[in-house]
Structures are given as C-alpha cells and as structure tokens.
Amino acid sequence: MSEPKPPTPTPGDTYKGWLFKWTNYIKGYQRRWFVLSNGLLSYYRTQAEMGHTCRGTINLATANIAVEDSCNFVISNGGAQTYHLKASSEVERQRWITALELAKAKAVRMQAESDDSGDDCPAVPPASGQGGGCRNSEIQSTLRTLNSKVEDLSTCNDLIVKHGSALQRSLSELEAIRVGGEMGEKIRQVTERATLFRITSNAMINACRDFLSLAQNHSKRWQKALQTERDQRIRLEETLEQLAKQHNHLERAFRGATVLPPSLSNLTLGTKGGVSGKGDASDEDDDNEFFDAMEDPAEFITVPADPKYHRRSGSNVSGFSSETGMDDQSFDELSLASNPESPQPLELEPVRQRRTRIPDKPNYYLNLWSIMKNCIGKELSKIPMPVNFNEPLSMLQRLSEDLEYYELLDKAAKCQNSLEQMCYVAAFTVSSYSTTVHRTGKPFNPLLGETFELDRLRECGYRSLCEQVSHHPPAAAHHAMSEKGWTLRQEIALASKFRGKYLSIMPLGSIQCIFDKSNNHYSWKKVTTTVHNIIVGKLWIDQSGEIDVVNHKTGDRCHLKFAPYSYFSRDVPRKVTGVVTDKDGKAHYVLSGTWDEKMEFSKIMQSSKGENGTEGKQRTVYQTLKPKEIWRKNPLPEGAENMYFFSSLALTLNEHEEGVAPTDSRRRPDQRLMEEGRWDEANAEKQRLEEKQRIARREREREAVKAASSPEEAITEDSINDSPLKTDAQETGTEASEVSESTHPDNYQALWFEKIDDTVSGEALHVYKGGYWEAKEQGSWDMCADIF
C-alpha cells in the first residue's frame, strides 16, 4: 500500500513520517514513527502512541547530523544519544535532512537569542518586596564594577612600580652626592617621591579593600544562587524519575486495559517473530513490544480475563468471599475476609525511641583492584579484607534484616487458604532482597560463636537470634519466633568467588517458615548475588536465579524467577515473576514485580496453551484478574546515601542495647570503630580479633586430636602445631568416623543451636535448642566464650 507523500518541509512546520531506526544486532532496523517539532525529534512505535508514549527525544540544538550513504544518516548529541536512521529512499532521506537542518538552525538561533536576552525566570527567587524581574542586568552591572576595580588595581600597580623605581634612584643619588649645597635639593626630591609612593600605595590598598568587600558581598549571594540551582536540579531529577515511573506504570496499565475474549487469546499471543509483510504496522509493533521481553520459551504469558469472570459470583474462587468484580478491594482485605476467626490487630507501641542516624561514611580512597587482583579464584571468606570495603554490620545482622517486612508473615498466619498464604510467603522471600540494591559494602564476617539478637517482641511481636555456628566454611543459624503464630529458621553458608570483573555470592542452605495454626511448613533457598564492575566503574548488584517455595504439608509450590539484568532486554530491570500451583500442578496465582520495589499478584481464571515459542516449546497463557499489590518497599531514610544506604531497620541494628550477650555483634570493637569513622583503628582491631580466633581454633584442634588419640599413642605438641588435623589423624591411625558427626573437625559445638535432620524437609540444619532468652532474663552469661 503506497503511503501519502509527505509535504516539503518549511521552517516552523511539524514534520512527521516513518523511518527505520537501528535497535540492536538481533533485530536490526525497526520501523518507527518520527515527529519533528520545535527543535525536538521524537519517535514512537506507532502513530497511536503519540498521545501517551514517547520512546525517545533528541534536542537538535546540540545535535550533529551526518549523512552516511544514499539512505542512511546519523543524529547524535555528543554520545549520550545516537540515532542511526534509514529512509525508504534517497529522496525521502533528503527531505528529512532538509527538515532537520532547518529545525536545528532555528533551535540554535532561538537558544542564542535566549542567552543574549536572558531568561525571564530569575535564577534565585526574588526577595520579599521585589518584583519578579530578571537578575541578568544586576549580574552584568556587578561584573562591570568588578572589572573597573581590577583595572584600578592594575593602574595602581603600574604607578607603584614607576614611583618605586624613581624613589630607589633618588636614594642611590643621595648616597653618592657630597655634603654641600645640593643636599637640600636631593632631599626635597626624595621626599616628594616618597610622598607619591605613599599616596599610590594607599590608593592600591583602598582599591584592594573595595574589591575584596565587593567580592565578599556578592560571593554569598552567588553561593546562594548556585545552591538554589543545585536544589532545583535535584528536584527536577527526582520529578523526572517519578514521571518516568508513572509513565511506565501507565503504559503497562494501558496494555492491560483491553479485555480479550478467550477465543482471541491464542491469536493475539502469537509466536515472537519478525514483522510480516501484511497487516497494519502498529499492530505488529504492539505484539512485538508485548512479547519480546519473554525471551525464555518456557515462560508463561498473562492476559486480562474474560468479562464474564468479572461479573459472576466469587463462590467458585478459592479464598474469596465476595464477588471477584470488586477490583478495588486489596488482597489483604480479601484474604482476611475469608478468615472470620482472624484476631483483631493488637496495638503495639514502641518501648523505646530508636536511632534514625549513624555517623556519615568517611570518604577514604582505597584501590580495590590492588587488593583483589591477587585473589582471583579464591574463596572470599578466606581473603583478609580491610574495613574500607565493609559496612558497619555483621553477616548476622544482615540475616536479621530479612525480618524488615515481617508483616507479610503476620498476614500469612491469618490466612485459611494455603494458596493465599503461599502468595504472602513468596512475597516475603522477594522482600528480603530489597535492601541489597544499593548495598555494595561487605558485611563483617562473624567470629565463631558470635551472636546477634533482635528483640522486637513488644514493638512488633517477634524476637530473633542468630549465631555463627561454623567458620570454615562460614555458616550462620537464625531463629525467629512471632506471637502472631509463625516461626522462621534458616542456616546460610556462603560460597563466593571473585571472577575478575564480578563477584558471585552463592548462598547455601535453606530457609524454613512454619505456621502454628495450620501447621504449614514452607522451605526455600536463596538466589545468587552478583556484584559487578569490580575493576572499573560504579559497583552495582544484581540478583538472579530461581526459587521454589514448597509447602511440605499440602504440596503447594511457588516457582519464582529472578531475571538477570540484560542490556538488550526491553523488560523492566530486576524483574521477578512467579506462579503459585497446587499439588496437582494447577496454577492459581501469578506473581510479578521487581525485587527492589514491589510485588503484585493476579488471580488466574483460565489457562491454555499458546503457540510454540522460539525453541518449539509451548507457552502457557493465563487469563487473570486485575493485579493487586501485595508488597512495596519502604522508602530509605533521609541521607541514606551517606549512611551506607541503610534502611530504617538497619540503622538500629548496631545500636547499643543493655543486657545482650557478651558475644553479641553490637559489642564487636572493630565494627563499632568503623561505624564511628575510626577506620585505621578498626583495621588494627580486626587483625587482632582474627589472630585471636586463629589461636582459639588451633587450641580446639589440639584438644580434638588428643581426644581422638589412644593413650598409648602420644603425639608431640610440635607435630600438632605443624600439621593439620587430617594429617594428625592419619599418623595416629585414627579413623575420621571416630569423631562424632555432630561436631566440627575442631570439636566446636554451637552454644544456642544444635544440628538435626529435619523430617519434614529432609535437610540437616541447625535449630534453636532454647536457653538464650532465659539466660538474658537472669543476666547469666557464664557459658559464653570471650571472643572479643
């Protein structure tokens, strides 16, 4: 179909038309709708998008336009934006080049006129009683005054040099003459020249004083104006960021606004492919846009459900007591409405005012590569690192941060339906990563036997205890209990490798959550954390992998996928998707969102198989109700960028508390010194603590070898000190099986946790054996080792 011939561009006209824009090496050139207006070149996927979604804009006033060949040309504004464009013909390319050059010339001329005449809006808000006139004339007047003062200083300087030279000559002549009649004349000349020199010097001093006074007076005003400009820029950036988020949200809402009947589901959800030669181009672009992000052919696809599901009663929908058409109700209200026995929320008042700030992070420079270049391929926990790369929290405290969104588990405990409960538990697993998005600092490796308690029983209804139960490999056990009827326990060991460009941290072990009322027992594992730009660039963190949250009682399962960041992906960064299924594999809920912002759920009303994907696999199509928000990240406190990007909970974790165990992380001296900004002292203290821990470990190894050896086979202390435990055991003929399986090679046993084989999940882990909170009430810590 032939397209209408575009008009010949004239100055001031809005010029529109189709061009091919280079996207990437996979898709090559894609057809886009371009609009040139008011010196700005914008493009859209379709003409229909002009009313709501602009894909990009470039300002021609600062842009460079270059022709590559008969049909191709490039528009760039200095590296930040570059458009590689291709017209359908050489004539069409020339029309666009003419229009762009005219628009650029007009934009440059308007910008120059604006610079000459000054902006109508004042850079600094006018003071009370003043009009809203421009300060440009005032600034120009001040600059002219300062220039005149500088010229006065220059003139005075020349006069001082001239009169000083004359005075020096007169003094030389005065020394050379004989005492006689001409003495009086010479003295008079010297006096005159000295007077001139004094007058000129005073004028110089006065001019300097005037210049300094004027500069000081206006310096304050200019500093204030500069600060105002900076504040306005920051507010503008924040506003633009909010607008971008709202724009993204509105765009996604617009895509889901059209309700598709089931008969059209498979037709609409065709296989991802190139643009066909028939049909409307806007429809082709919309399809590509919606499904290009689904790069994994095994992924599911969601579409709005048929209108009949919005009108019918909710009697067939599990966990809903009202009509499903009541879209304005939140997930919490729907879930709690299904449980008439849910207790009323308790009014929990804080028992103390906790701190909201810590000392700002010092700006100490240290080259990471100079330390890490010799550590490639090594276990991170075995690398001695200065505190410059740390944050003033231990790994035990970072584990306790998982409880920041404990309300999700409180709500889950009130659910009668296990599938709804699974949605809350899955959202809780995602929420534990929300604090890591800016946290590039490494937490302190806990010392063996180090503990951390988080007692929020009176404030939030839960209390938590962590203990470092192993040092090599490092492993920590965590137990949290809530009055709302849930228990969380986990044992996490970290395996980490430095790969040169990035650092991979693989958490080993599992997390379990048990609900008292329903006896539902959930378990899951953590995904891999990757720290990028180790060598050069700004550090940034990504979470990637898959999580299976399993309900061992009912067989329900939620499969969560954390999509790794990809430069070529058009999908939202840090995306998380998941499907909640029952024991028979039937899907009931879809979860979607990002691990650093929020999660939403959608009730599945119908599912079907779509067409084959790129690898010949069928993708499931879910028809869902309108998504509801189930979790949203709390905003960071003010000034968090200067406080290691700590959340409100993280700021309180290292706060002094009375009555805690002597092994508590709050009492760790190197961590406390780092928080106070005394990093040199913290590094020295860290080395002392690590050496003390090594000495204690060697002592335990000696005791373990002695206990495993027979009385007839004596082992000298020198051989024990010089040989590892495995060698000693071989020399004495002792079998490794003689050592209890519940003990470590150095015969260390945790104080508050014991290792068991969990019959429900089938995993071996450390669980809390009791006694800590009773010891705290009695103030008796005699059983604790002196590790600090």
b/e 440-468 (16+ beta carbons within 10 angstroms → b): bbbbbbbbbbbbbbbbbbeebbbbbbbbb
**CB-based contacts of 402: which residues, under 8 Å, 6+ apart?**
432, 478, 488, 490
Same domain, 539 and 424: yes
Same domain, 71 and 162: no
pLDDT confidence of residue 769? 92
Please say whether the beta carbons of 435 and 457 come within 8 A: no
Domain final residue, candidates 659, 686, 713 = 686
In a domain, 138, yes or no: no
Residue in 256, 254, 277 with CA at minimum distance from that of residue 31: 277
DSSP per position, 201-236: HHHHHHHHHHHHHHHHHHHHHHHHHHHHHHHHHHHH
Q: Tell me: pLDDT of 8 over 60.
A: no
pLDDT confidence of residue 399? 92
What band does 726 get if pLDDT is binned at 50, 70 and 90? Answer: very low
Q: Tell me: pLDDT of 592 over 90.
A: yes
Domain final residue, candidates 249, 281, 316 = 249
Q: Residue 580: beta bridge partners?
A: 558, 589
* Average pLDDT for the chain: 76
In a domain, 172, yes or no: yes
Average pLDDT on 677-687 reads: 89
Dist. CA 45–CA 23, nearest whole Å: 12
In the block, residue with structure tokens 């405290």: 397
Same domain, 499 and 404: yes
- Report the SS3 class of residue 736: helix
Return the H-helix or E-strand segment holding 413. Answer: helix 407-413
Same domain, 485 and 535: yes
Q: Tell me: pLDDT of 255 over 70.
A: no
Same domain, 197 and 106: no
In a domain, 387, yes or no: yes
Q: Tell me: pLDDT of 288 over 70.
A: no
In a domain, 588, yes or no: no
In a domain, 198, yes or no: yes
CA 268 to each of CA 194, 283, 632: distance values in angstroms, whole numbers, following the listed order: 99, 10, 32
Sign of CA dihedral 655, 659, 663, 669: positive
b/e 728-747 (16+ beta carbons within 10 angstroms → b): bbeebebeeeebeeeebbbb
Please say whether the beta carbons of 452 and 665 come within 8 A: yes
pLDDT digits (tens, 9 = 90+) for 164-213: 777 777 777 776 766 566 677 777 777 777 777 778 777 778 778 777 77
Dist. CA 380–CA 396, nearest whole Å: 17
pLDDT confidence of residue 487? 95
Q: Tell me: pLDDT of 261 over 50.
A: no
Same domain, 218 and 83: no
Provide the CB-side half-sphere exposure for 294 (13 A, CA). 26
Same domain, 426 and 539: yes
pLDDT confidence of residue 182? 67
**Tokens matching residue 233:** 């820029």
Domain final residue, candidates 623, 656, 686 = 686
Range(s) of the domain holding residue 394: 368-543+635-669+677-686
Same domain, 506 and 650: yes
Average pLDDT on 330-346 reads: 46
What band does 330 get if pLDDT is binned at 50, 70 and 90? Answer: very low
Same domain, 175 and 99: no
pLDDT confidence of residue 594? 94
- How many domains does the chain divide into? 3
Same domain, 184 and 43: no
Packed helices 136-176 and 183-255: angle between N→C axes, nearest 10 degrees: 160
pLDDT confidence of residue 442? 86
Q: Residue 604: beta bridge partners?
A: 624
Provide the CB-side half-sphere exposure for 337 (13 A, CA). 13
Same domain, 26 and 152: no
Average pLDDT on 593-622 reads: 79
Provide the CB-side half-sphere exposure for 701 (13 A, CA). 19
Dist. CA 109–CA 454, nearest whole Å: 64
Q: Residue 590: beta bridge partners?
A: 579, 602
In a domain, 596, yes or no: no
pLDDT confidence of residue 456? 92
In a domain, 521, yes or no: yes
Distance of CA 517 to the CA centre of its chain: 37
Q: Which residue has the higher pLDDT, 350 or 361?
A: 361
Same domain, 81 and 151: no
What band does 522 get if pLDDT is binned at 50, 70 and 90? Answer: very high
In a domain, 356, yes or no: no
110 sits in the region (left: phi over 0; alpha: psi -120 to 50; else beta) called alpha
Residue in 130, 131, 133, 110 with CA at minimum distance from that of residue 120: 133
Dist. CA 583–CA 552, nearest whole Å: 10
**Which pairs count as long-range contacts for 185-194, CB under 8 Å and 24+ apart, including other chains?**
193/163, 193/166, 193/167, 194/167
